[in-house]
Structure 1
Amino acid sequence: MSKSHVLEVGGAGYIGSHMSKMLVQSGYEVLVLDNLSTGFRDAVRYGQLIEGDFADQVFLEQLFSTQHIDAVLHFAALSQVGESVREPARYYRNNVANTQNLLDAMLRHDVRRFLFSSTAALFGEPEYTPIDEQHPQRPINPYGRSKRMVEEMLADYDQAYGLRSVSLRYFNAAGADPEGELGERHDPESHLIPLVLQAASGRRESIAIYGNDYPTPDGTCVRDYIHVWDLCSAHLLALEHLLVDGESAAYNLGNGKGFSVQEVIDTARKVTGQSIPVVLQGRRSGDPAILVADSQKARQELGWLPRFGDLETIIDHAWAWERKKGYLW
């Protein structure tokens, strides 16, 4: 029996490019839609790239009219918290209005399975950790609010139109393809592990620690880092759930344990054998001391079993990518 045809919106980015590889290796037919504003053409090594923008309703109509699509995976959100505070209109337009364009095109062509890349940012300041799906949602920036709006929209579209969806709320995606073919690339880079490894490889002079006086064991912030390949495996299970007419759902995705900024740097020093200079700076506003996910629901309902949970493996895979692909930058 042939596998389903899926459309990956934003599939030329970090997580999307890894997802394409896993989907193709699992037998799916994959179309990658990306405007390449933050993604990279050469990251689309699996599936067929269609260059276009999901803001363009005429383009979406043509796409859905000419392609057989069984399900849509949405990775095309803007995701920089600070930028969302400076430019909220851009975030609501792309993350909310354009997503509605996509959903409406799906409905017109009777495509009713949707996988949404959501975020832990919709919870806001944690009232308790680890954070489960019942944690209150009080996002503190336009980025988090835009994601919460889409989740609310999805609930309404399910009830009114029967569009089934799974929202996957990421904590900190990290690492790289275990085979070294793909990895993390952002311009500018804002994620801790690649920044630390850029300092290790000499592409950056040092790494900043923003505050060392938090109520944590070593005073630095604690975050939950989930390997990108494990993140993708959860998407694959969620897609399979939808394709057998499973109900709509939302899941928190993380390691279930946290690592401090200092632990990340110390582990990177061990993996790379480099000294990695550090510059201590003041706290950043809005940085909670601890953010850790409770992912039991995904484990129980989807049968998700992360393979790469230890920090050393995550950093080792990311370091292999940094060394192999450094010339791309």
Structure 2
Amino acid sequence: MKLLVTGGAGYIGSVVSHLLLDAGHEVVVLDDLRTGHADAVPAGARLAQVPLAEVASVLTPDAGFDGVLHLAGLIAAGESMVRPELYWDANVVGSLALLDAVRAARTPRLVFSSTAAVYGNPSELPLTEAAITAPTNTYGATKLAIDHAITSEVAAYGLAAVSLRYFNVVGALRRPDGTFVGERHDPETHLIPIALQVAAGERETLDIFGDDYPTTDGTCVRDYIHVEDLARAHLLALAAATPKEHRVYNLGNGNGFSNLEVVAAVRQVTGRPVPVRMAPRREGDPAELVASSARARQELGWAQAKPTITEMIDDAWAFLQR
């Protein structure tokens, strides 16, 4: 198939693009490189350096695309609470432009990068796709808005669509030639990459935001998934997309780790100290998010190759060292 990957120069998008090429697909990456990296785009893919709002210049009716994997957008929950306008514009306005282009080009399939942040503070764990959606931050609200827009598009025009609600993504893709494709956010806002930067001596301390949550050690609990396992789910979702259906799948490990447990695992993998400093809570952070991925396992045949937190951290550490 000929596929458009929006955000394909980013962390997850570049890994997805590699796996699509490995599977024999033709890949065009659309990325304005505001947060992505041109050298992360696989050699076999074509890069269209175009803003998402101008996607119709690439996704044209005569371009012959068989599907779109939509991974472009802003992702920092904390930032979304202090600069919400950036998130409504990038995530919602941009995605609506993409849906317009998909409709005009009669592109039959869409896989959307959604998030577990749509659930907010859950009343029951692990989270299933039937859980109430009540996001506590602007980032989650923008992603949920697009999930709703996709549902409407499917009902009105018969699009085949799948939304994948990610939990925390970790690790790096190990290529057969010994190279890695990994996480390079600037600025970095995620716990494990920052903890590894501290272990590597690139930062002095790691800030833990809040130690008074109703959890075993007072710090937030999160579910983690290896980026390669997550990327493989995109290929399965693409194959399973069905006209006039909007399927939703949670993708996580099913196990929760507190921030302090993650720090302990980073120390174990790296063999290095990771000094920690307690900081106030960030507005909009749920206390605990843990996934049930039973639906993805049953309907997509998805399975994790690297389910342990130490495997995930080990690959992320190997990437950082290179």
SS in structure 2 at match of 1:294: coil
Structure 1 runs, 4 residues or longer, greater than 6 Å off: none
When structure 1 is superposed on structure 2, of 178-187 and 249-258 the one drifting more is 178-187
Matched, 1:187 2:186: yes
Deviation, 1:245, is 5.0
Q: Cα deviation per residue 1:227-281 (whole Å; 9 max; x = unaligned)?
A: 0001011111001112x75832001110010111111111111111111111122
Deviation, 1:66, is 5.2
Q: Cα deviation per residue 1:120-175 (whole Å; 9 max; x = unaligned)?
A: 11111111111111111111222211111111111111111111110000110111
Matched, 1:269 2:234: no
SS in structure 1 at match of 2:144: helix
Counterpart AA for 2:300: L
After TM superposition, list the pairs within 5 Å mapping 1:1-329 onto structure 2.
4-46=1-43, 47-56=45-54, 60-65=56-61, 67-179=63-175, 180-242=179-241, 247-324=245-322
Pairwise CA RMSD: 1.6
| Distance in 2 of aligned mates of 1:62 and 1:228 | 27
| Distance in 2 of aligned mates of 1:322 and 1:13 | 16
SS in structure 1 at match of 2:101: helix
Question: TM-score, length-normalised on structure 1?
Answer: 0.92
Q: Cα deviation per residue 1:290-315 (whole Å; 9 max; x = unaligned)?
A: 21011111111111001111011000
In structure 2, the CA distance between the partners of 1:268 and 1:254, relative to structure 1 (3 Å rule), is same
SS in structure 2 at match of 1:189: coil
In structure 2, the CA distance between the partners of 1:63 and 1:113, relative to structure 1 (3 Å rule), is closer
Contact 2:128–2:250 (8 Å) recurs in 1: yes
Question: TM-score, length-normalised on structure 2?
Answer: 0.94
SS in structure 2 at match of 1:223: strand
| Distance in 1 of aligned mates of 2:150 and 2:10 | 23
| Distance in 2 of aligned mates of 1:9 and 1:210 | 31
In structure 2, the CA distance between the partners of 1:276 and 1:87, relative to structure 1 (3 Å rule), is closer
When structure 1 is superposed on structure 2, of 120-129 and 227-236 the one drifting more is 120-129
| Distance in 1 of aligned mates of 2:98 and 2:286 | 33
Deviation, 1:99, is 1.1
Counterpart AA for 2:168: N
The gaps in structure 2 that reach 5 residues or longer are: none
Contact 2:157–2:244 (8 Å) recurs in 1: no
Counterpart AA for 1:11: G
